[in-house]
Structure 1
Amino acid sequence: MKQKVYPPIEALLPHSHPMILIDSVVQHTNNMVECEFTISPKSFLFDSLINGVPAQAGVEYMAQTIAALGGLASYERGEAPSIGFLLGARRYHHRESCFLNGHRYLVHAQELMSDSSVAVYQCKILNDKNQEVASGQVNTVVASSSMLNALINNTEQ
């Protein structure tokens, strides 16, 4: 079976380096996405004292994976990725103190519910031994034009 080739992650996220933390999309459906990242000394937030990236960054890896799902939908419509915001994370648990140098991780995000702009995702991060090292529920919102204008101009919607 031929593996699907996805666009580069830079085409799917409304970020630029060094703020892009994930490397690529490996699989997706309409409401699920899996992305991967590998930790190296060049990784944003890398801490040489712990030889990795602090475990708390897992929430951002999850949020960027969710953004990649929206970016794929925008890409397929020929549009730029939408700007979204992380509203919060619930029940975030990490089982290791950091994401270790030289290791590859897989982030899985499954949409649990959504309305026109707000969505909730169940997420988990697996290490290169397929063991779950972090999990949590992430709440997001896709910004409307009026919301962005209000934020930029510091006015109310």
Structure 2
Amino acid sequence: MLNTMDTRAECYLLHREPMLLVDNVITCSASQITVSVVIGEKHRLFIQPNQCVAAWISIELMAQAVGVWAGVQGKQQGEAAPKIGFLLGGRQCKHFVDGYNVGDQLLIEADMLMQDQLMASFDARILDLDGKCLASARLTTYQPSETELAALLDQQ
């Protein structure tokens, strides 16, 4: 799937700096994605004085990987732009490190477990380049239809 697509994650997410936290698509299929990230300046909102990003950012990194997956799927179905999606929850969230250091190179993988129209569940994990699992979670996501999104925005 990657030979004809742009591998920059920003092409498949609505996020922009400083909230765009992932870098590139490594692999993507109908049910799996791997993205990469190098911890650095783009994470400036989250870098602590010790030059570390706390492990709690893991949930957002994994959620953005799922968002990139949804964006790639949409692009393949002819959608012109990424759509908004929501992280409804994370279960079994585990962190095996206290944080990530500036310069750390990470891989974020997500495998779709099930998809029921607009809702989906993913097993996600963050790995170092040696394949060691640094964090994992089961994410539940929701991508509203255009009609639902318009109704949600009108209620404000």
Whether the TM-score (by the shorter chain) exceeds 0.5 is: yes
What TM-score do you get using the length of structure 1 for normalisation?
A: 0.90
Aligned to 1:142: 143
State the SS of the aligned residue for 1:4: helix
Count the aligned residue pairs. Answer: 153
User: Which runs of structure 1 show a deviation greater than 4 angstroms over 4 or more consecutive aligned residues?
Assistant: none
Change in 2 beyond 3 A, CA 1:96/1:54: same
TM-fit CA distance, 1:49? 2.2
Cα distance in 1, alignment partners of residues 67 and 50 from structure 2: 28
Q: Specify every segment of 5 or more residues in structure 1 that has no aligned partner in the other structure, as ranges.
A: none
Map 1:22-41 to 2 at 5 A: 22-41=22-41
Q: Specify every segment of 5 or more residues in structure 2 that has no aligned partner in the other structure, as ranges.
A: none
Change in 2 beyond 3 A, CA 1:46/1:128: farther
Aligned to 2:3: 4
Note if contact 1:11-1:75 (Cα within 8 Å) is conserved in structure 2: no
Note if contact 2:34-2:65 (Cα within 8 Å) is conserved in structure 1: yes
Cα distance in 1, alignment partners of residues 39 and 9 from structure 2: 16
Map 1:1-157 to 2 at 5 A: 4=3, 6-7=5-6, 8-79=8-79, 80-154=81-155
Q: Cα RMSD (Å) of the superposition?
A: 1.6
State the SS of the aligned residue for 2:3: coil
TM-fit CA distance, 1:43? 1.6
Q: Which amino acid aligns with 1:85?
A: F
Cα distance in 2, alignment partners of residues 103 and 154 from structure 1: 42
Note if contact 1:23-1:35 (Cα within 8 Å) is conserved in structure 2: yes
State the SS of the aligned residue for 2:131: coil
Change in 2 beyond 3 A, CA 1:50/1:90: farther
What fraction of aligned residue pairs are identical, expressed as a percent? 31
TM-fit CA distance, 1:51? 1.6
